Structure 1
Amino acid sequence: MAKVLCVLYDDPENGYPTSYARDDLPHIAHYPGGQTLPTPQGTDFTPGHLLGSVSGELGLRAFLESRGHTLVVTSDKDGENSAFDRELPDADVVISQPFWPAYLTPERLARAANLKLAITAGIGSDHVDLDSAIEHDVTVAEVTFCNSISVAEHVAMMILSLVRNYLPSNQRVLDGGWNIADCVARSYDLEGMHVGTVAAGRIGLAVLRRLKPFDVHLHYTDRHRLPAEVEEELGLTFHPTTADMVPACDVVTVNAPLHPETEGMFNDELLATMKRGAYLINTARAKICDRDAIVRALESGQLAGYAGDVWYPQPAPADHPWRTMPHHGMTPHISGSSLSAQARYAAGTREILESWLDGTPIRPEYLIVQGGKLAGTGAHSYSVAKDRK
């Protein structure tokens, strides 16, 4: 029998919900491109309910315990003698979300003698040290595409919020004020601007599609160039590298995975090549940006605004400089954890568990590492140390 260790974020401060703002979720038949939604043998949760917090348990308890397995759920993942560290040595499976990542470091993987499977309930598995997972023959899987559109919607919202100066204007109302000049002194139209995405995979391409109706000029860079018909449909300008693209853009959105080629990409040098007054949106991973370089660029006016929902570490400490830097639109890591997305990533997590427990193949699109090497989506999107030798 397997021990499944699941790390989820805390319940709401006022307790687990007893009612919700809406009664149902729209039906979605498939993702863009035709990939089917998760197809588990069954589910034990109500779509639209809070599943990603401790009491939600991703809807897994009844399923696992009915098969004789053990489920341990905790939010205590950091610090000396955390519940995660205490439970890890004999865990067979670890489940974690990008929004509240249980970092599987080389040291933790070395202590996890029984660990065979690490599941990301969501997308983005950089909280797992992939080199060490390969070394220890741990399969790493994630629920690819489950919240890509959720994140793309969040990106579009943040772009408009920054460019139109929405958040300070809303705060003025909350504070009882009305001065219109103060609100519009940093407000512009998005129309006609040049907007570029770093990476045009599932999220990046979805962002481009959502921005096209705003009559902007669209740019992208990616390791894998899009088909010519997609470039023509959306009027895209391709750039071979990020460094080539960013000087042309008024708005840059980062939608790339974190790996050695992207870590620290937006540093002082790259930021200096951007248009003065450009906007940068990062819902990918915080470490793609140099933390202090972002602060300096906002303080100097090189950047007009920075928004995102990814931090390092997560949760961000109270004194993290991104909490207090000027002209930001930061949120906690929420873009991919809407109640709509939770229904999909909970179902996908169960599908992965069913495959692993039954000894049947895990969908290739869910795989990041398998058999001691990058696999499936991981082979397409990530790089590891052996790839750089």
Structure 2
Amino acid sequence: MWLFTRWRLSITLLSNFTGICCTVTVKAVSHSKNKDDTMKIYCQFPIHKPAIEAHFGQRVTCVESPGDADYLLSGRFTADMYHPDLKGVIIPYTGHDQIEIETMRQHNLKLFNVTGHSRFVAERALQLLHAITGKVVAYHNRLAKGDWSGRTTANDRIPWDSLFERRIGLFGYGRIGQWIATLLKPYAPALCVIDRGKRYEGVETVPDLHALAELSEIMIISTPLTPETEGVFNRAIFEKLGAAYLINVGRGKIVDETALYEALASKKLQGYASDVWFNYPKDEQPTYPTNTPIHTFDNVVMTPHSGGHTTTSFSVMVAEIIGHLEALLEGDFSAALDLGRLT
């Protein structure tokens, strides 16, 4: 048994990947636990190695193969990655859609994630919302061609939609969803979420997605991708949404790709703005984010899954990763996710 006292440490590092110099500040509170002196960790992304090595020295070794690691710092885990010495997985971001949860349960592994960047993802949702309802991209593209969107002819002038006092549905009310609700407060919206048996303050609740879609003028997706949420925004939901705006910072495949195209092409859906997609590049080759031509529509705004990637988010996320590793060295697993509640 070893008593670990409160400490504070700052590290300055230069990321070769981003070229951003950042300071990582970590705080921890002591726990009296069985202590591991050293740990071996596999980093899926080399960007994390410098900070880990600078902070821990010989206490944590970054190994080259998942098969040699006590813990994986990885957003991906499959059955073939398991070995008897593996203790758990730390996801270096929030989503667990590439983690085989059942395999982790079978082997009694611990799962952790990083959520400090949630406020940045929520901020990206608000940016997308402003851009699509304010017609910012459409106005820009027209003005770049000398078109003033009917400014000189009042009858044809193109208006934009204000966010004040709108009915906004939040599909997902975890950390990101709650940050979105906080950021929306100045607009005095009527916020609504699906009742999942939790405690909700400052929002209305409805029993299911159909009811949420029916009352929403704006819908914001921030929930994880699971077997239950994949493709859940289908034709039936788009019929309920009608002429609403849909914002997505959850995962692309929560939305049915064909149904989305049909709703946008027919103008039944007022607009779609998303940071998450159906297709992702495997190399540096140009890759369209969808298999449909919605990128050509003026009622669509797109960003390249960059909501959590700000000039300051890296230091926030690294600090949380280091905090997880410090706790694990002390035998403290209190931050582990409840695998029984994940799918």
Length-normalised TM-score, structure 2 = 0.77
Q: Percent same amino acid at aligned positions?
A: 24
CA distance in 1: counterparts of 2:249 and 2:50, whole angstroms: 23
Matched position secondary structure for 2:300: coil
CA distance in 1: counterparts of 2:119 and 2:193, whole angstroms: 18
Residue number in structure 2 paired with 1:63: 55
CA distance in 2: counterparts of 1:113 and 1:340, whole angstroms: 37
What's the CA shift string for 1:11-53, capped at 9, x where partnerless? 89xx74367xxx999x9xxxxxxxxx86399xxxxxxxxxx97
Residue number in structure 2 paired with 1:336: 308
Residue number in structure 2 paired with 1:33: none
Q: 2:341 matched to 1:349? A: no
- Contact persistence 2:279–2:290 (CA under 8 A): no
- Contact persistence 1:39–1:348 (CA under 8 A): no
Which is greater in Rg? 2
Residue number in structure 2 paired with 1:179: 148
Q: Which runs of 5+ in 1 are unaligned?
A: 1-10, 28-36, 42-51, 73-86, 385-389
Per-residue deviation at 1:109? 3.3
1:153 to 123, 134, 137: 123
Residue number in structure 1 paired with 2:7: none
Per-residue deviation at 1:116? 2.3
Across the two proteins, how many residue pairs are aligned to each other? 306
Matched position secondary structure for 1:261: coil
CA distance in 2: counterparts of 1:190 and 1:201, whole angstroms: 22
What's the CA shift string for 1:277-322, capped at 9, x where partnerless? 2111111122221222222221121212112212245447714426
Give the letter for the 1:152 counterpart.
Answer: A
What's the CA shift string for 1:301-355, capped at 9, x where partnerless? 1212112212245447714426841222221222123233322211111111122
Length-normalised TM-score, structure 1 = 0.69
Q: 2:69 matched to 1:91? A: yes
- Contact persistence 2:132–2:301 (CA under 8 A): yes
Q: Which runs of 5+ in 2 are unaligned?
A: 1-14, 31-43
Matched position secondary structure for 2:316: helix
1:361 to 313, 318, 332: 332
- Contact persistence 1:195–1:219 (CA under 8 A): yes
Higher strand share: 2
Residue number in structure 1 paired with 2:213: 246
- Contact persistence 2:251–2:276 (CA under 8 A): yes
Residue number in structure 2 paired with 1:307: 273
Per-residue deviation at 1:176? 5.1
Q: Map 1:144-293 onto structure 2 (within 5 A).
A: 144=115, 146-173=116-143, 175=144, 177-181=146-150, 185=158, 187-227=160-200, 230-231=201-202, 236-275=203-242, 277-293=243-259
Which segments of structure 1 move beyond 6 Å, counting only runs of 4 or more? none
Per-residue deviation at 1:71? 4.3
Residue number in structure 2 paired with 1:138: 109
Per-residue deviation at 1:253? 0.5
CA distance in 1: counterparts of 2:50 and 2:245, whole angstroms: 36
CA distance in 1: counterparts of 2:288 and 2:222, whole angstroms: 26
- Contact persistence 1:38–1:348 (CA under 8 A): no
Q: 2:34 matched to 1:39? A: no
- Contact persistence 1:198–1:222 (CA under 8 A): no
What's the CA shift string for 1:347-387, capped at 9, x where partnerless? 1111111222x24213x3x3225xxx43xxxx3xx3x3xxx
Per-residue deviation at 1:142? 0.9
- Contact persistence 2:125–2:249 (CA under 8 A): yes
- Contact persistence 1:295–1:322 (CA under 8 A): no
Q: Map 1:368-379 onto structure 2 (within 5 A).
A: 368-369=337-338, 373-374=339-340, 379=341
Per-residue deviation at 1:248? 1.0
